[in-house]
Amino acid sequence: MGRWMTGLTAALLSLGTIGARAADAPRGVLVFAAASLANALGDLDNSFTARTGIRVTSSLAASSTLAKQIEAGAAADAFFSADLQWMDYLQQRGLLRPGSRHELLGNSLVLIAPAASSLPRVAIAAGSDLAGSLRGGRLAVADPDSVPAGIYARQALEKLGVWNGVAPRLVRAENVRAALEYVARGDASLGIVYRTDALVEKGVRIVGVFPADSHAPIVYPVALTRHAGAQATRYLAFITSAAARPIFRKWGFEPLVSK
């Protein structure tokens, strides 16, 4: 009986040690990020893991979708939005770690056509005949009611006075990368996406650039959620550091943080 108890005690101590090691093992960092960040974060996450051994998983979708998921209890460690609105949304609900927010990147809005399109360069200005440039086709945009890229697009189209002419021809995509794909496949004659998206897709070409003052500044903020741990803190420090800026620039983003 004594030997049995001794063996049981040793087994329990062993299991306790294994459990403690499992608890101490790096669980990685889960980042909820705007779909337009896919390529840049692919490089950044790999670089961070190579430096630290900490695994990073990026869940990519529309900022609106991701913010709602975090509000519903999704276990994200960090949120990287394509606009200020959805970051404000989470901050106002107390779902972000105070003091962790950074306005990190800038971008621009462009008009794209399929790479094989014969459409000439479009001069985008007030009163432009954007509807005529569609040549009877469709205009792909991220959902202008909720997705940042679509919201920026609608702001620009309304300020330029062409929204009513193109609204009936919209293809509303779930995110900006989906809008990009519609144009690349030829399912839409034109699309409005971020410059960074257009640069990574060989199936499209930029045919116009929206004036910067036609829409709100495109700003990508990043912050930790209130549940983030030490590994996420290290990740945030890396992507907001000088070491990350060349990677963002490689993919066409404009770093806004100078530290």
DSSP character at residue 144: T
Quick one: 210 and 228 in the same domain?
A: no
Say if 230 falls within a structural domain: yes
Task: Give the pLDDT of residue 26.
Answer: 53
pLDDT for res 207: 97
In a domain, 101, yes or no: yes
pTM of the model: 0.85
- Mention every residue, 6+ apart, whose C-beta is less than 8 A from residue 142: 62, 148, 149, 150, 153, 172, 173, 174, 175, 176, 178, 179, 193
pLDDT at residue 152, as a whole number: 97
Residues 36 and 12 in one domain: yes
Same domain as 172, residue 139:
yes
* Residues 164, 129 share a domain: yes
Residue 58 lies in a domain: yes
Residue with the two structure tokens 């800026």:
245
Q: How far apart are CA 222 and CA 100, in angstroms?
A: 8
Is there a contact between 113 and 138 (Cβ–Cβ < 8 Å)?
no
Map residue 237 onto helix, strand or coil.
helix
204 and 142 fall within a common domain: yes
- Specify whether 206 is located in the same domain as 123: yes
Would you say residue 154 lies in a domain?
yes
pLDDT digits (tens, 9 = 90+) for 86-145: 999 999 999 999 999 999 999 999 999 999 999 999 999 998 899 999 999 999 999 999
Give the domain CATH number at 65: 3.40.190.10
Judgement on whether residues 13 and 88 belong to the same structural domain of the protein: yes
Domain of residue 119: give its range. Answer: 109-214
Residue-wise pLDDT tens digits, 40-73: 999 999 999 999 999 999 999 999 999 999 999 9
**Mean pLDDT to the nearest integer, 232-252:** 97
Q: Name the residue among 61, 116, 58, 64 with its Cα closest to residue 85.
A: 64
pLDDT of residue 27: 72
Let me know if residue 77 belongs to a domain.
yes
State the Cα angle at 101 between 174 and 221, rounded to 5°: 35
Residues 176-202, mean pLDDT to the nearest whole number: 97
Domain count, the chain: 2
Q: Is the pLDDT of residue 228 over 50?
A: yes
